[in-house]
Structure 1
Amino acid sequence: MTHPLIMHRPGFEAFILSLPRATLVRQWRDDSVGKIGGKVFALLDRDPGDIWLKVSDMAYELLTELDGIRPAPYFARAGWVAISAESPLSEDEIKAYLVEAHRLVTLRLTRKARAELGL
Structure 2
Amino acid sequence: MFDHTLDLCRSLPAVITEQKWDNELRFYVGEKLFCMISLEPPHSVSFKCSQHQFHQLISRPGIVPAPHLARYHWVQLKQEDALPATELENFLQNAYEIIVSTLPPYEQEAIHKMKAHA
TM-score tier by shorter-chain length is 0.7 to 0.9
- TM-score (norm. length: structure 1): 0.83
1:30 and 1:63 mapped to 2: Cα distance? 24
SS in 1 for 2:68: coil
In angstroms, what is the RMSD of aligned CA positions?
A: 1.7
Question: Equivalent of 1:109, from 82, 103, 111?
Answer: 103
Change (3 A) 1:75 1:11: same
Deviation by residue 1:56-76 (Cα, 9 ceiling, x = unmatched): 110001000011000000110
Which ranges of 4 or more aligned residues in structure 1 deviate by more than 4 Å? none
Unpaired runs of 5+ residues, structure 1, are none
Whether contact under 8 Å (2:13, 2:111) holds in the other structure is no
The alpha carbon displacement at 1:112 in A equals: 2.6
2:52 and 2:72 mapped to 1: Cα distance? 13
The percent identity for this pair of structures is 23
**2:59 paired with 1:58:** no
Whether contact under 8 Å (1:71, 1:80) holds in the other structure is yes
Partner of 1:17: 10
SS in 1 for 2:101: helix
